[in-house]
Amino acid sequence: MKQPLTVSNRKNHLEVADVFHFYGEQYRQSHNQPYEQIKVMRHIQACRTASLGGHVEQCNECGFERISYNSCRDRHCPKCQTMTKERWLNDRKAELLPCGYFHLVFTLPHTLNPIVLCNKKIMLAILFAAVNETLQAFANDPQWRLNGQLGIIAVLHTWSQNLLDHFHLHCLVPAGAYSTAQNKWTPARKSFLFRIKSLAKEFRKRYLRKLEKAYQKNELIFPGKTASIGAQKAFGEMSQELSETDWIAYAKRPFAGPEQVLEYLGRYTHRVAISNNRIISIDNGMVAFTYRDRRSKNEKKTMSLNADEFIRRFLLHVLPKGFMKIRYFGFLSNIKKKKYIPIIRQLIKPMVKLLRKIKETVQQIMLRVTGIDIICCPQCKKGEMRKIKKLPKLAWDTS
């Protein structure tokens, strides 16, 4: 039997992969899992192990050898986000505007969680659409004096600090609106974009309207109700309750400029439900990890869950295949940004110098991010590590 792991007695760090290694097979045998969850577990277990193959490197000075295994590149893997994040951030440099930015967050009521979990693709797509429509409607409303179109980067998060389902959208919005009809940029107020309570009400109205349409088209699986009459009654009661509930939207402190925005994006965009450095111990069927208690001023605390529950909570956040968790709207949408970003920059501050995309190798990115030169020999500190042999994948299906 495999022995349990703790940070103090076995490893200097623990990983989600260790939890799957110890208890994953037991979980798979006792739960009827969808294929997407099975695939994610396999990928994370195999990441940077012999299962995925790799190569042998040798120092050209001292002859020191080491094995480097391939990454799984799964977007849910805690070990595979650094390179993806850095490349994505580099692409965003060419899209920054010389103005302030607002950070808005829209949260779905937890009453909807069971339905979201059964209908992730459509329910979360509705979340993106409702938030975008809400913000654009306010930008076009004369009372807010913008009279134009917003640019929005929207990032989906599905978790709370204790790994439970908590569906919310982080929106990054440049502080102003662009009118294509007048070729005009109208700056927003420095302190706030729109009245947040009004946004929350409009968000609720638009989301429920879209939810009703999806239900009427039989596009939703409604958990716990099979008979059409029972399901219809339950849905009606739920909709009534949701329409009378205050929905949560809030605004964080505005960013002063594009450099702050880039720093923020690096922290938020490519997160997974839990990072490996939060796991403290895996012992006697229990997994202990740290979390921030939002009700106690973000105080750092420790939580212990049995392995089965830890795995269940982690897998709550597996997204459907092909579902985009980062989306762009308005003048930042993929079909508009190449045309409008240069125009808007000229309208705001034509002479300002902004960050530019740079071409970096994997070696350069790792050196910048971690301070480690992955080519330099760790033994003699003089030679370069060069690939001398390719290692094939093992016969284990991780597709």
Q: Residue 79 is encoded by which pair of tokens?
A: 């070990």
8 Å CB contact between 258 and 96: yes
Kind of pairing between the strands at 385-391 and 101-107: unpaired
Q: What residue has token string 């409607």?
A: 137
8 Å CB contact between 23 and 307: yes
Taking only the tens of pLDDT, the chain with its 399 residues reads: 344 555 444 456 899 999 999 999 999 999 999 999 999 999 999 999 999 999 999 999 999 999 999 999 999 999 998 888 888 888 888 889 999 999 999 999 999 999 999 999 999 999 999 999 999 999 999 988 999 999 999 999 999 999 999 999 999 999 999 999 999 999 998 888 999 999 999 999 999 999 999 999 989 887 665 445 566 778 888 899 999 999 999 998 888 777 788 778 777 788 899 999 999 999 999 999 999 988 888 899 999 999 999 999 999 999 999 999 999 999 999 999 999 999 999 999 888 777 677 788 888 888 887 888 989 999 999 999 999 999 998 865 555
196-216 vs 228-243: helix axis angle to the nearest 10?
170
d(CA 186, CA 175): 9
Residue ranges and CATH numbers for the domains of the chain are 14-76+371-391 (no CATH), 82-273+316-348 (3.40.1310)
Secondary structure percentages of the chain, helix, strand, coil, to 5: 40, 25, 35
d(CA 52, CA 390): 11
